[in-house]
Amino acid sequence: MSLMGFAKVVLKNLFTGPVTEKYPFVPKVYPQGARGSVNIELAKCIFCGICQKKCPTAAIVVTKEPKAWEIDRLRCISCNYCVEVCPKKCLALDTKYAPVTITRTTDKFSAQPVA
């Protein structure tokens, strides 16, 4: 590299800031459509179980009686397949990932009427 080119790069680097994001001080912005964790809008769900049948990793368990929808977040690979097949369009992928955990638990959503 010629000396001129070298000087140009040095000067450019002096005046442009770092390329990396200052996470966690600057929050990470995920692009629209990024595949994160699965969310359910329970009021719309009819508990048909199609998502359970289609999920390639068997992360979802749907029970009809009592009405419940359960997901194992550590099994889910955020593939978006359940979202595509749901007839009621009550599932959606968040752009954020599921929070970090150290134990294997499932997230259970049940639609039991309040007694």
Partner 1 sequence: MSERTIIPFGPQHPVLPEPIHLDLVVEDEKVIEAIPSIGFIHRGLERLVEKKDYVDYVYVAERICGICSFIHGLTYCMAIEELMKVQVPDRAQYLRLIWSELSRIHSHLLWLGLTADSFGFESMFMQSWRLREYILDIIEETTGGRVIFGSAKIGGVRRDIPLAKMDEIMKKMRVYRKDVAALCEQFMKDQTVKHRMRGVGLLSREDAISLGAVGPMLRGSGVAQDIRMTGYSGYDRIGFTPITETAGDCYARCMVRVREMDASFQMIERCVEQMTDGPIEVKVTGNPNGEFFMRSEQPRGEAIYYAKANGTKFLSRLRVRTPTFANIPPLLTALAGCQLADVPVIVLTIDPCISCAER
What residues make contact with ligand SF4 under the rule CB under 6 A?
Answer: 38, 40, 45-51, 55-57, 59-60, 62, 71, 76-82, 86-88, 90-91
- Give least dist CB 53 to ligand SF4, A: 9
- Give least dist CB 78 to partner 1, A: 8
Partner touching 82 among partner 1, ligand SF4, none, CB below 5 to 8 Å by kind: ligand SF4
Cα 9 versus chain centre, distance: 39
Task: Find the helix or strand (DSSP H, E) in which 44 lies.
Answer: none
CA angle 53/55/59 to nearest 5° reads 105
9-to-18, 20, 75 alpha-carbon distances in Å: 14, 18, 46
In this chain, which stretch among 31-39, 40-48, 68-76, 103-111 interacts with partner 1, using CB under 8 A?
A: 31-39
- Give least dist CB 99 to ligand SF4, A: 16
Closer to ligand SF4 by Cβ: residue 48 or 95: 48
Q: Which residues pair with 69 in a beta bridge?
A: 62, 109
Q: In the range 63-82, which residues lie near partner 1 by CB under 8 A?
A: 77-80
DSSP, collapsed to helix, strand or coil, labels residue 15 as helix
Q: Residue 105 — φ and ψ, nearest 5°?
A: -125, 165
